[in-house]
Structure 1
């Protein structure tokens, strides 16, 4: 059986245990982070879209930090948006606050019809801090 090196952010372990998934798993020099939404501490959606996107990034950054990493080590991003035709521009006003400087990670944006009551979700793959420090800036 595969042994998973699971990363839990502070104060959110019960949420993941209740929903039966790992927030992030380290494997072969990479950190695979589950989709993060703008959930409040009780798991409910933040109703304001801009605040929800910020909270999703804050939740993502808490996991990256728990792994000893940061968004600077992110190499691939997937975002899911409910009704992207009407929400994309609003969401993309928030993204640069968290995205950092070029070169940017790769991005796949997916329009969906349902996200368990949320309007935005972000999942990433990052190099683990050890692997990122040894690559000398090369992919």
Structure 2
């Protein structure tokens, strides 16, 4: 079984310590990123929904970068929404700016009733590029 290595961005927000979880776990060449929310440094939610979504993506980008990844390496996305019908347009607009061009990763959107004071959460699985994983690129 491959080792499990915790990955944290350099500028961690307080929620990692408050709720005692890793930002991501690297296992082999896969990166499993915990749900990222629009959390300010102190752990409080960004009040405006669009800003909360943008900050969640920024927090996700920081975790990916800490592992040597980018959105291009993401293969699976799960998003959680407290009001999917009202929120989806905003989420799709921000996602289009962040994720980029096809081929797109898998994506599952789930409506929930509670996100600990937040209205949006995003978690991903990424494949770590060969050089970032400490391996030579495939020939």
Q: CA deviation at 1:14?
A: 5.1
Which consecutive unaligned segments of at least 5 residues does structure 1 have? none
Please list every run of 5 or more consecutive structure 2 residues that lacks an aligned counterpart in the other structure: none
TM-aligned CA distance change 1:15 to 1:8, over 3 Å: same
Does residue 1:20 correspond to 2:29, yes or no?
no
- Contact 1:49–1:91 (Cα < 8 Å) also in 2: no
Aligned counterpart, 1:74 = 74
Matches within 5 A, 1:34-53: 34-53=34-53
Greater percentage in helix: 1
Aligned-pair distance for 1:67? 0.7
Deviates more, 1:9-18 or 1:49-58: 9-18
Query: Counterparts in 2 of 1:93-132, with a 5 A limit?
Result: 93-130=93-130
Write the distance in 1 (CA, Å) between the matches of 2:86 and 2:73.
30
Q: What displacement does 1:135 show?
A: 6.3
Looking at structure 1, the residues matched to 76 and 84 of structure 2 have their Cα atoms a distance apart, in angstroms, of 20
Aligned to 1:33: 33
* Preserved contact between residue 13 and residue 39 of structure 2 (Cα < 8 Å): no
Regions of 4+ moved over 2 Å: 131-136
